[in-house]
Amino acid sequence: MEVKLYVGNMSYDTTAEQLQTMFAEAGTVSLVELIKDRDTGRSKGFAFITMSSQADAANAIKMFDGKEIDGRALKVNTAKPPESRPAGGRFNNNRGGGSFNRRR
């Protein structure tokens, strides 16, 4: 069973290829998702790495959590599922006509 890992506190200069090579030392890497800013294309300093098995994921956490790369101590742990957010943005899908800031 594949396991997704969170890798944080990375240098903005770390590349997906570097992560692939590094985590392959711990086991089989299925996917590397380097999270980038959509406007600048620059890394946000964290990534998600999918390992092929629980054993490979545990080995990667043991090998790389706290390891210093490019002057930064990595934070590596099992990724948590995303939290659900209410749909509709800041108006919370209120479709009841009228002005939001109406004065009376």
Residues contacting residue 64 through CB under 8 Å, at least 6 positions apart: 7, 22, 23, 26, 74, 76
pLDDT digits (tens, 9 = 90+) for 13-63: 999 999 999 999 999 999 999 999 999 999 999 999 999 999 999 999 999
pTM of the model: 0.78
* In the chain, where the domains are located: 3-78
Q: Confirm or reject CATH 3.30.70.330 for domain 3-78, answering yes or no.
A: yes
pLDDT digits (tens, 9 = 90+) for 70-93: 899 999 999 998 888 777 655 555
